[in-house]
């Protein structure tokens, strides 16, 4: 069954989703915690996190703040020691790569994942942007990997300069046109560069964008998730994929169609998953048509 996590640190949202019986876990990150801190209302952050842990039976991801192997391991151990005894549901989020500046080590995150996994602390490897990062994280022992599909769509859309350049709403559908161009590019690559007579898809700019990050032909965020799933299925990795950075209900549906293990979804997108104007229209019509005779039958 596909598991649904809510991507928030807002306790009212977690409670509400839990009350619907659909919630399997929670993911937080420093930015989401920052938003929640503004609403603490006199409660300490430590107590607030304790409340979150008790609000759901499922795993709750808490992220480290450090960017070196030593800092991340010690923070992870501290978070786990402090909070896991409360409801036995803490997962530690470690960035796949903490590299920020030239010269930074690319493997601090991976080393931390290995150490923590060996000590029995479950790790959610975060900020995954390529299938290769996901492959390495799984080999290092991550219990979960979180590919950020929305941020990959943002990147591709912005760099391709389509649909209004950088100005598009956060919940805009990732345009099929871009995905289509990417698919063609991938096909050309698979066919070893043979010309399919569709020259327009071979334009240099597009190829540069899809090659970003030394990756090999990812043409959308959903494609990133698909590629990771293929790799994990090929080798029987037990690492669970959490489709993250989700912006739209359509992305959730595409992930469900490919059989992804988990989607971590903002509360507003879970709401979008339930709405359809024809459902509302149908409700109005049915309510209008209820005859008094039928109402009488329904009375206890």
Tokens 């900020």 label which residue? 127
Give, as ranges, the residues between 108 and 147 that touch ligand E4P (CB under 6 A).
126, 146
Does position 8 interact with ligand E4P (CB under 6 A)? The reply is: no
CA 61 to chain centre: 12
Catalytic pick among 34, 51, 93, 114: 93
- How far apart, in whole angstroms, are the C-alpha atoms of residue 123 and residue 115? 10
Does position 240 interact with ligand E4P (CB under 6 A)? The reply is: no
Does position 217 interact with ligand E4P (CB under 6 A)? The reply is: no
35 or 57: whose CB is closer to ligand E4P? 35
Kindly state the smallest distance separating residue 270's Cβ from ligand E4P, in Å.
13
Candidates 6, 7, 64, 182; binder of ligand E4P (CB under 6 A) is 7
Candidates 89, 245, 248, 251; binder of ligand E4P (CB under 6 A) is 245
31 or 234: whose CB is closer to ligand E4P? 31
Does position 239 interact with ligand E4P (CB under 6 A)? The reply is: no
Closest CA to 73 of 98, 94, 48, 91: 94
> Does residue 299 have an active-site annotation?
no
Kindly state the smallest distance separating residue 244's Cβ from ligand E4P, in Å.
4
Structural contact between residues 72 and 33, judged by C-beta atoms closer than 8 angstroms: no
Kindly state the smallest distance separating residue 204's Cβ from ligand E4P, in Å.
29
Cβ atoms within 10 Å, residue 180: 13
Tokens 């759901």 label which residue? 56
Does position 27 interact with ligand E4P (CB under 6 A)? The reply is: yes
Largest alpha-carbon pair distance within the chain? 78
146 or 251: whose CB is closer to ligand E4P? 146
126 contacts: CB under 8 Å, gap ≥ 6: 29, 61, 63, 93, 94, 95, 96, 146, 148, 244
In eight-state DSSP terms, residue 63 is: E
Q: Which residue lies nearest ligand E4P, judged by its C-beta?
A: 245
178 or 206: whose CB is closer to ligand E4P? 178
- How far apart, in whole angstroms, are the C-alpha atoms of residue 36 and residue 209? 35
Q: Of 9-17, 18-26, 148-156, 202-210, which segment contacts ligand E4P by CB under 6 A? A: 148-156
- How far apart, in whole angstroms, are the C-alpha atoms of residue 272 and residue 265? 11
- How far apart, in whole angstroms, are the C-alpha atoms of residue 258 and residue 2? 10
Candidates 23, 137, 209, 244; binder of ligand E4P (CB under 6 A) is 244
**Hey, which residues are catalytic here?**
93
- Chain residues binding ligand E4P by CB under 6 A are 7, 27, 29, 32, 126, 146, 148, 150-151, 244-245, 264
């Amino acid at each position: 069954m596909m598991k649904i996590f809510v991507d928030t640190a807002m306790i009212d949202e977690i409670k509400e989703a839990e009350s619907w019986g659909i919630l399997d876990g929670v993911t937080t990150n420093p930015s989401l915690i920052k938003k929640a801190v503004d609403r603490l209302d006199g409660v300490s952050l430590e107590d607030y996190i304790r409340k979150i842990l008790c609000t759901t039976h499922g795993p709750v991801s808490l992220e480290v703040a450090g960017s070196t192997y030593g800092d991340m391991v010690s923070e992870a151990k501290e978070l786990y020691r402090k909070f896991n005894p409360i409801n036995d549901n803490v997962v530690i989020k470690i960035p796949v790569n903490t590299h920020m500046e030239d010269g930074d080590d690319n493997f601090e995150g991976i080393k931390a994942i290995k150490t923590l996994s060996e000590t029995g602390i479950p790790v959610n490897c975060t900020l995954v942007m390529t299938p290769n990062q996901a492959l390495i994280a799984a080999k290092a022992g991550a219990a979960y990997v979180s590919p950020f599909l929305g941020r990959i769509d943002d990147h591709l859309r912005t760099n391709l300069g389509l649909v209004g350049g950088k100005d598009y709403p956060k919940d805009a559908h990732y345009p099929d046109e871009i995905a289509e161009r990417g698919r063609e590019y991938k096909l050309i690559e698979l066919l070893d560069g043979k010309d399919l007579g569709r020259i327009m898809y071979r334009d240099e700019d597009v190829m540069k964008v899809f090659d970003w990050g030394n990756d090999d032909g990812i043409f959308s965020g959903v494609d990133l998730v698909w590629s990771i799933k293929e790799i994990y299925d090929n080798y029987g990795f037990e690492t669970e994929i959490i489709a993250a950075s989700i912006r739209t209900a359509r992305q959730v549906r595409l992930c469900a169609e490919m059989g992804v293990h988990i989607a971590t979804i903002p509360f507003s997108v879970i709401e979008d998953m339930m709405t359809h104007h024809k459902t509302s229209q149908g409700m109005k019509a049915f309510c209008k048509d209820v005859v008094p005779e039928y109402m009488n039958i329904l009375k206890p």
